[in-house]
Amino acid sequence: MEEEGRQHQRGKVNWPVTIQTEEGTIERATYNISTDGAFISGLSRLELHEVVDMTISGPDHPIKVKAKVVWTSSQVPPKEDMPRGVGVEFINISDEDREIISSFVAGLDFAMYLESPTSDEDAKVQSLIKEQTSIEVQSLIEEQPLEAV
């Protein structure tokens, strides 16, 4: 789980994102997400402070948000462990969608807590959670293929 002094926890997820701009549609994916924003991976035509409409293909249903670009990786040298992309702040998101993101990120945090099982029973539980999470994430990826832009 990535904290980096953030107000809200972020979960590392790869959810497809459709971004509507004045110039057209951009297809990308999240690198991580929180209830207040996301990092969208991939080279982008988005500018700092640009406001866009986004549809994130979340775990249960599409999450529609209005977002503002607050950071771009073009501002800093590339890092090995972080892809190029943009950080966005959600400026309009429903309470229901915020709760979906919060629950999912908390679930990822719980799964990471189980990384070090203390007994055989804990190891079995950890294995079942990882298997279920993997199945859910894989089904999302298969349901929403990204098109090359």
How far the first Cα of the chain sits from its last, in Å, is 30
Residue 102: is its pLDDT beyond 70? Answer: yes
C-alpha distances out from residue 61 to 37, 101, 132, Å:
17, 11, 18
**H or E element that contains 38:** strand 37-41
Which two structure tokens, joined as six digits, stand for 119?
């007994």
Identify the band that residue 15 occupies on the pLDDT scale cut at 50, 70 and 90.
very high
Q: What pLDDT, in 10s, does the model give residues 74-94?
A: 766 666 666 789 999 999 999
Region 90-114: mean pLDDT is 78
Q: What pLDDT, on a 0 to 100 scale, did the predictor assign at position 79?
A: 64
pLDDT digits (tens, 9 = 90+) for 23-70: 889 999 999 999 999 999 987 778 899 999 999 998 778 999 999 999
> Which pLDDT score is estimated for 7?
57
The residue assigned the tokens 């702040």 is 89
- Rounded to an integer, what distance in angstroms lies between the CA atom of residue 30 and that of residue 22? 21
